[in-house]
Structure 1
Amino acid sequence: MWRFAGDDVPAARARVEAALAAGVTLFDTADIYGPDNGEPFGAAEALLGRVFAESPGLRDTMVLATKGGIVMGVPYDSSATYLASAIDASLARLGVDRIELWQIHRPDMLTHPQEAARALEDAHRAGKIAAIGVSNHSAAQAAALAKFLPVPLASHQPEFSALALGPLTDGVLDQAMAEEMAVLAWSPLGGGRLARPIDDHVHAVAALLDLKADAYGVSRAAAAYSWIMAHPARPIPIVGTQNPERIGEIPQALVPRWTRAEWYAVLQTSMGEKLP
């Protein structure tokens, strides 16, 4: 919901309903979503809150996730005081009394993980958040936070796509499998580059995705999502389209099947080199 913006509540509701109709149940937002769209801090959460206010039944049909810890001009604050205030502010903007998954958006190097964990434990105990996750954290940073939490970390949210391969080798996906954490892959189309290739490298990756898409009668985007989902950590692509028609195509991602040779061909083309 990074680009979930505007003042048209019926149009916003239509996007939510299109996703639900397509079988999407996880809605991932953040308090920082707004300024990138020329809107105030918290605008995306506030718009979703207005949708809930007009159609209260929608709230109970989804797993609601949000994030906090990015502060304009700071840039990061995971102190206990700030995290507690950020969680309360998100609840107020969304107009809900509980968030299923609350994630620290980016790691704050000036906060001891025990301090951040204390605020998250308090919110969890109070019933404000049902589960705790991390976004843009290394495996070591996640492990340090997990050491001080009374409940397991539920999720990682890394950038992961056929163009952003870091989680495959930096330990994040390995940790997710070892600790049974969900993986929410943001920017699964490489920041839109896979949809609109602008150089030979991306064209080469897109060409392999097109072969798979053509073989199964789906879009290139669906092939890109399915490539991510083929990993045994079972990553969940965070689809960012705001077009109801394209939202309706999301289930196409469940169709393609990858052989090992095909999957590794995409990987090696993206790497620009052969694996040893």
Structure 2
Amino acid sequence: MWRFYGDDVAGARRLVDAALAAGITLLDTADIYGEHHGFGASETLLGRVLREAPELRDRMVLATKGGIRPGVPYDSRAAWLGQALDDSLRRLGVDHVDLYQIHRPDLLTHPEEAARALDDARQAGKIRAIGVSNHSAAQVQALARFLPVPIVSQQPELSPLYVAPMFDGVLDQAMERNMAVLAWSPIGGGRLMKPESDRDRAVAALLDAAAETAGVDRAAAAYAWLMAHPARPIPILGTQDAARIARANEAYRVRWNRADWYRVLEASLGTKMP
């Protein structure tokens, strides 16, 4: 829901309906999303949808994020996280979210303080589970040290064009801790659909070969490539096109064999695996 904002409530409802109809139940937003249209714009629009159709709430896993503060830029102090969460709940028009994530690590807040704020909110019933976004494996470990409950999710940038989490310990830690991996920008910020470099085109060509075999589009092949990893990444779609949302579950029609999967990785890295 990074680009989910504005005043077209009917159009926003169509996007939510398209996702739920396709079996997509995780709706992931953040207080910073839509900032250029006003801080909290994405949450506000989703809140308007839920006020018009409150029955949708029970059909979704509602996730949001806090900890980015315009002009600061990061703040995970207890006072700010508490205020940010309350503001998110107000904009969404709900009394709790299923998953609350620290959006980016705040280097000036001790993880014990952030953990205390998150667990206070959990015990108050405002959040059901705790996650992080854009955290290193070490930062996750430090935060987890002070929490009485597990961190259930990690949200890294991850795509066939950005594979760093496969090598920097983020996906390994997710598997070790049984954390869900929510992959943002799974088609490389759109670059897989409009390749800009020889590397982009090489990766796209390999995805196209798999897509053609399965009778799907390149995006579905990219989602399937991510989902083939044993950490079981969940691609976070950024599209605002209901038709593309409806086709996203075609990813399940793609079957990557080991050799072809590694060819995509090698094209992304620009080198053969050692």
Q: Same fold (TM over 0.5)?
A: yes
Kindly report which structure 2 residues correspond to 1:149-160, keeping only aligned pairs within 5 A, or say none: 149-160=147-158
Asked whether 1:231 is paired with 2:253, we answer no
Asked whether 1:167 is paired with 2:165, we answer yes
The one-letter amino acid of 1:6's match is G
Q: Please report the TM-score for the alignment, with normalisation by the length of structure 2.
A: 0.99
Cα deviations across residues 159-203 of structure 1 (Å, max 9, x unaligned)? 000000111001010000000000000000001000100111100
Once residues 180 and 137 of structure 2 are traced to their aligned partners in structure 1, the CA distance between those partners, rounded to angstroms, is: 13
Once residues 10 and 161 of structure 1 are traced to their aligned partners in structure 2, the CA distance between those partners, rounded to angstroms, is: 31
**Counterpart secondary structure, 1:41:** coil
Which residue of structure 2 lines up, in the alignment, with residue 28 of structure 1? Answer: 28
Equivalent of residue 107 in structure 1, options 105, 108, 112: 105
**Counterpart secondary structure, 1:248:** helix
**Counterpart secondary structure, 2:151:** coil
* Number of residue pairs the alignment of both structures matches: 274
Asked whether 1:121 is paired with 2:112, we answer no
The Cα of 1:255 is off from its aligned counterpart by: 1.0
Once residues 140 and 250 of structure 1 are traced to their aligned partners in structure 2, the CA distance between those partners, rounded to angstroms, is: 33
The one-letter amino acid of 2:258's match is R
Which residue of structure 2 lines up, in the alignment, with residue 203 of structure 1? Answer: 201
The one-letter amino acid of 2:121's match is A
The one-letter amino acid of 1:31's match is D
Kindly report which structure 2 residues correspond to 1:1-276, keeping only aligned pairs within 5 A, or say none: 1-35=1-35, 38-276=36-274
Q: Please report the TM-score for the alignment, with normalisation by the length of structure 1.
A: 0.99
The Cα of 1:5 is off from its aligned counterpart by: 1.4
- Aligned CA RMSD, in angstroms, stands at 0.5
**Counterpart secondary structure, 1:93:** helix
The Cα of 1:254 is off from its aligned counterpart by: 1.0
The alignment-based identity, stated in percent, is 67
Structure 2 residue runs without a partner (length 5+): none
Once residues 8 and 201 of structure 2 are traced to their aligned partners in structure 1, the CA distance between those partners, rounded to angstroms, is: 36
**Counterpart secondary structure, 1:50:** helix
The one-letter amino acid of 2:214's match is Y
Once residues 3 and 156 of structure 1 are traced to their aligned partners in structure 2, the CA distance between those partners, rounded to angstroms, is: 21
